[in-house]
Structure 1
Amino acid sequence: MPRPRTGRRVRTLLAAALTTLAPLVFLTGPAQAAPAAAGAWTPAPAPVVSHVETDDPVVFITIDDGWATEEAAGARQLLLERRIPASLFLLPDAYERDRDYYRTLLAHGPSRIENHTTTHPDLTTLTEAGQRAEICGARDRQLAAFGDGPRLLRPAGGATYNWPYHNADTRTAAPACGAEAIVMWTHDLTTWGSWTPPTPELKAGDIVLLHMGPTLEADLTRALEAADAAGLSPAPLRDYLLG
């Protein structure tokens, strides 16, 4: 598996700095965070990433939610056999139903569990304090369950799926809860019902979104075949975003 290159790291840091200085045009919703107390230190807003700028021949596999593990035994075996460093953006109530599934992935493979909020709300409908409660609450439960805290956040869409699922308050709340980047995706390859999205030609640095459930093994196989066809290897997203 390629190691992140220094040039890629510099570009990522530069992109994060530019993101901090120039608010993204697609952020939605009012900023409702209370002003910081005089002299209080506040972290810089988290950057939003949907593709990693890198010359390395790598792709990033991400899996959301965490339900229906009993129907995804084959997917777990595939992740372990091929040692796929998947980023698992999980809900606490989902992994609490089958901790052993995820403990096996963490103990015997390179996957990591990341933050997907506590109850999967549309974060853009919440105040900054409400968003912190969701994000910090998920972090605390993950620490209790696995002894490892998340460092990346994927905001949930709730019932409204009000794209892009985050706003300025999210970018402030995330680092306050230990999330150093907000991760979206380049391609969603999840099969929904009878509809399977077309398989794209993957490019270096693409972030692939999948979901835990009965179609995960087939969707993961399709994503890995697309990566193989493009000469790309799955790589750990944390390493490339955080160094």
Structure 2
Amino acid sequence: MWRSRAVVAALASLSLAFGAAGSAQAGVGLPPVVAHVPTSEKVVFLTIDDGWNHDPEAARILLERRVPVSLFLLPGAASYDVQYFTRLTQEGRASVENHTVGHPDLTTLDAAGKDAEVCGAGEQLGAAFGRTPKLLRPPYGAVNDDVRLAAKACGVKALVTWTHDFTTWGDVPPPTPRLAAGDIVLLHFTPTLAADLQRALDAARAAGLKPAALMPHLKSSGVI
């Protein structure tokens, strides 16, 4: 399933690189879309999507190193082993956020479909983890004002895309970019997560940056 998204994810990364989802698009009354956090602090933000592959080595890295991370989960992917994720939130520094119910391109859905995907995922994740997510990662990074409006109706404070995708979608890892303060790193719960996570941590260290919790910095930077 995760490999079938490789082409779409790669195209989304290219569009973001050319500014399609700016750092913080602040429309009147709508939650912003954030691909980079404006901050002078030497921090980077790690995010992990979906939840299909529950790799114990990736969990070990996150727990032993106390890495702050945002988990944008699909309820179905998390539900068959909720304990894997509750351990990360209770013993580590992970927070669970919204990635919709079924991973559709939200821009293709009508209002009822958007509501079912975003509000539905928020309700299911809230029931499973005791906290209703306030951040949404729109699948494929596909966003328009209708999606932002639906997200607002579901209590979402910001839609989070990404600056760099570190996921190994094929047999060879992608080139490692030089990270900058405020960058948002995208990873996925795939069989290569542990190695991809280590590359991201190494890249952060090489740039003199430390992983930080996303939500507090969105607030302190005035994004939300």
TM score, norm. by length of structure 1? 0.79
Q: 1:144, CA displacement in angstroms?
A: 1.0
1:199 to 2:182 alignment: no
Q: Structure 2 matches for 1:1-243, cutoff 5 A? A: 19-21=26-28, 44-69=29-54, 72-157=55-140, 164-243=141-220
2: CA distance between counterparts of 1:146 and 1:182? Answer: 20
Report how far residue 129 of structure 1 moved.
Answer: 2.7
Match of 1:33 in 2: none
Percent pairwise identity = 56
Q: CA deviation at 1:68?
A: 1.4
State the partner residue of 2:6: none
1:20 CA displacement: 1.3
Rg (Cα) greater in structure? 1
What is the identity, as a one-letter code, of the residue corresponding to 1:169? D
What displacement does 1:19 show?
Answer: 1.9
Q: CA deviation at 1:89?
A: 0.4
Unpaired stretches in structure 2, ≥5 consecutive residues: 1-22
Paired residues of 1:87 and 1:113 also in contact (CA < 8 A): yes
Where 1:173 maps in the other structure, the secondary structure is: helix
CA drift of 1:195 comes to 2.8
Give the letter for the 1:104 counterpart. Answer: R
In the TM superposition, residue 50 of structure 1 has moved relative to its aligned partner by: 0.3
Q: For 2:154 and 2:125, how far apart are their aligned partners in 1?
A: 12
Confirm or deny: 8 A CA contact 1:151 1:181 kept in the other structure: yes
Q: Please give the alpha-carbon distance, in whole angstroms, between the structure 2 residues aligned to 1:80 and 1:179.
A: 27
In structure 1, give the amino acid aligned to 2:187.
Answer: L
The answer as to whether partners of 1:127 and 1:169 remain within 8 angstroms in 2 is no
